Chain A
Amino acid sequence: MNISCDDRERIFLDGTAEEWAGLEQHAATCCACAEELRAWKALSTAAHELRDYREDHHLWMKIEHSLKEQQRQHHVQRGFWEKLRAWGDLALGWRTALAGALVLILALSGVYVVRRQTNGGTGQDRLLKNSALAEVERAERDYMKAIDKLDEEAKPELDSPTTPLMASYKEKLVVLDSAIDELRMEAGRNPSNAHLRYELLAMYQEKQQTLQDVLETKR
């Protein structure tokens, strides 16, 4: 093969085996090409200095450990998805039944939550349970009976008040009776409202106190 100096770089870049042999032959008679060829070869030889292929079993042990750990984590994740995929192995009837049961459970849970939220009031609108309400109403009736007794005792004095004080007691009791009637009407419409019951109780206590004052004054 006829090789000249002009072919050198092309052969360095992408020469065929024959072209390399031709360049070697040419370099035997050409100083410049011989020098270039030698330097080119020397670079490849020098590259061997960057080889350090010592065994390192310790590194393999580290790698093996991390591979096992990654494999274990992968199995845990895959286990979950495989369980989920096991649904597909069930018969269609069973799958429908299970899905139906799930929907039913979810619907019931939803209804329960909604009802709880509807019945659950604010702090101002606290509710009394049925048993507690019956107890309050019974106590209220007893209290009213006791007040009525006081009222009867004080009635003669109040019907014909002899002093301005007695007259003012009478007026106060009229106002209290009116407020009590109003509150009782309100409580009748909303029997579970504990706040109204407290108001009513305060009114009864005030009426009781006023009647006691009337009787005291009479004595």
Chain B
Amino acid sequence: MGTVGLTLHWEHRISSVAGEGGRRVDSSGIAAGQNREQNTFPDDAAMAAGCLAGDLGAYERLYRLQGARMRNLARNLLGSQTDAEDAVQDTFLKIQRGIGSFRGQSAFVTWAFRILVNTCHDVRRSRMRRKEQSQENSSEMFPQLEPRAPGAHPSLRMALERALAALTRHQRDVFLLYEVEGFRHAEIATMLEISETASKNTLFQAKKNLRGMLEPPRSTEAGGQ
């Protein structure tokens, strides 16, 4: 993977938001950890009960509370707004079909996101199969990213998207769920069916790899003080 972001010196360009962003720096850090602990899902049990009873209002509530986040995660996993919307729609249909099997081992929202992540993986797998069948001569498995609403740092976002595409699937999933969507490791572990420790390790590896891809090569520095 190229080092598209290396020349951006992006760590300096985002200094204006570092005050806010600086609070979420770690794998289980101070501020981030505290924020994540508070990140319980309001109305979770009521939503699950409503969905189980076939109340469309409960599904609408789920969409109102989590729809944007679901769409954003799917978009980052699939690289396409259209595919992301299809995946979210498919997820809601799967929730409706499978709500009878939800036993409350995890939060309802966590369960919904687990379905979404699996749906996105299915979409990617079928996309890859189609690609193999059509014998398109491309080694790039991550799709061409569609343009989206300009953020504060479009160049940084693009560099990050390209770097994410070079990560392993698990590293990408964990990074997006933890750093972008703000889930806790316990929730990510449930969603991806891995242990909490594996989630932490994967995030650490993902960030190390991303740093290697995005950072400009540094001049030799002393390791100590």
A5/B224 in contact, CB under 8 A: yes
A31/B221 in contact, CB under 8 A: yes
A47/B225 in contact, CB under 8 A: no
User: A-side interface residues toward B, CB under 8 Å?
Assistant: 5, 9, 11-17, 20-21, 29-32, 35, 37-56, 59-60, 62-64, 66-68, 70-71
Asked if B76 lies at the interface with its beta carbon under 8 angstroms from chain A, I say yes
| Residues of A contacting B197 in the complex (Cβ-Cβ under 8 angstroms) | 14
B223/A5 in contact, CB under 8 A: yes
| Residues of B contacting A53 in the complex (Cβ-Cβ under 8 angstroms) | 68-69, 72
Interface string of B1-37 (1 = CB under 8 A from A): 0000000001100100110111011111110111000
Distance from A58 Cβ to chain B, minimum over Cβ atoms (Å): 9
Distance in angstroms between the alpha carbons of A54 and B97 in the assembled complex: 27
Distance in angstroms between the alpha carbons of A20 and B2 in the assembled complex: 32
Chief secondary structure at chain B's binding surface:
helix
B204/A12 in contact, CB under 8 A: yes
Interface string of B81-124 (1 = CB under 8 A from A): 00001001100110011000000000000000000000000000
A44/B21 in contact, CB under 8 A: yes
B89/A63 in contact, CB under 8 A: yes
Q: A32-B221, A38-B11, A46-B14 are in contact. Are A20 and B89 (CB under 8 A)?
A: no
| Residues of B contacting A42 in the complex (Cβ-Cβ under 8 angstroms) | 10-11, 14, 18, 21
| Residues of B contacting A54 in the complex (Cβ-Cβ under 8 angstroms) | 68, 149
B25/A49 in contact, CB under 8 A: no
Distance from B166 Cβ to chain A, minimum over Cβ atoms (Å): 15
| Residues of A contacting B50 in the complex (Cβ-Cβ under 8 angstroms) | none
Measured CB to CB, the nearest residue on chain A to B17 is A45
A32/B223 in contact, CB under 8 A: yes
